Structure 1
């Protein structure tokens, strides 16, 4: 986790750091990256880098977490656009992703997050049943007539859906699918979920 000093940077300086970290990490294995690349691209001293991060791994984990947060927020935004058709919202999100330019910051975040298994090992943060996020999520699930009994199950379903979407995007990137191939495969998955396989 970055130091408090990093989080107190001026917004434009932090944005530059975030952009450089994403540009460096999204397309190279972390094992091939050197601190000097980041220092040079951000025009900071080596000492400043270590003032912000414990090490290169710390900067990488921060970049993955921040990217994942945005992706998860984007997925939820698309789902909430049409609350009565849960999986259609996800399909619209997948279609939007499939049409991103490879130089787009959103694409870089997707590529970074689909290349790491860190997301599947993310510690789940418990949320109280009375939290507004859980209440909204449970209301959305009820509106779609999903049989979810309590806050724990609702939260587990949220993580399941995020993993489902990230798996679909990983397959899309690795297999170099078209939008049509991505949506066809995702529809198989939703059919299995909603109708079963027997």
Structure 2
């Protein structure tokens, strides 16, 4: 659990800690990451680290949340989700957080889901039995683009097919919207 002491840190110290976490988790998958490397890079004591986080998994979740919040705030609207996903993936390999994301999708997400199942359960979004056609369509698109983003990092050799799938999905969405 992220502790209140973290939120009480100055913006500069939080940024320093954030950069140390990003560096460690970009260079190492979660199971290989070391608190010692983080505290050295952040210029804090090991004791200070544990006043901010319960453990390295906690620190990882905080860092991942910051990255995914940043990515999702860049999305303009759900109507443009497919186009925005394509744009994101076209530039993913040049993003400064690319290696962090690669570790996340190839290893770390499964570790966190296994270690902290209630956090994974919170992220699941299921359809209600009375869902409208538009709610079903939005759900299908959201599930598809998130799976395709994960596949982009899991299977870099399939990037062309993933982009083609997004194009097909966009055409389907356009037909569905026109028919409705």
- Where in structure 2 are there 5+ consecutive unaligned residues? 114-118, 126-131
| C-alpha contact (below 8 Å) 2:28/2:103 kept by paired residues | no
Q: Distance in 2 between matches of 1:97 and 1:72?
A: 13
Residue of structure 2 aligned with 1:147, choices 130, 133, 156: 133
| C-alpha contact (below 8 Å) 1:36/1:46 kept by paired residues | yes
Q: 1:179 to 1:112 in 2, by over 3 A?
A: same
Q: 1:181 to 1:15 in 2, by over 3 A?
A: same
Q: Distance in 1 between matches of 2:120 and 2:155?
A: 24
Ranges of 4+ aligned residues in structure 1 off by more than 6 Å: 192-196
Partner of 2:83: 91
Matched, 1:6 2:3: no
Structure richer in helix, relative to its length: 2
Q: 1:125 to 1:111 in 2, by over 3 A?
A: closer
Q: Distance in 2 between matches of 1:61 and 1:113?
A: 10
Q: Distance in 1 between matches of 2:68 and 2:31?
A: 21
Q: Distance in 2 between matches of 1:29 and 1:194?
A: 39
* Length-normalised TM-score, structure 1: 0.64
Matched, 1:110 2:101: yes
| C-alpha contact (below 8 Å) 2:2/2:59 kept by paired residues | yes
- Where in structure 1 are there 5+ consecutive unaligned residues? 81-85, 127-145
Residue of structure 1 aligned with 2:154, choices 174, 180, 196: 174
- Please state how far the C-alpha of 1:70 moved relative to its aligned partner: 2.2
Q: How many residues align?
A: 162
Partner of 1:186: 166
SS of 2:122 mapped into structure 1: coil
Q: Distance in 1 between matches of 2:85 and 2:152?
A: 13
- Please state how far the C-alpha of 1:24 moved relative to its aligned partner: 1.2
- Please state how far the C-alpha of 1:193 moved relative to its aligned partner: 6.5
Q: 1:111 to 1:166 in 2, by over 3 A?
A: farther
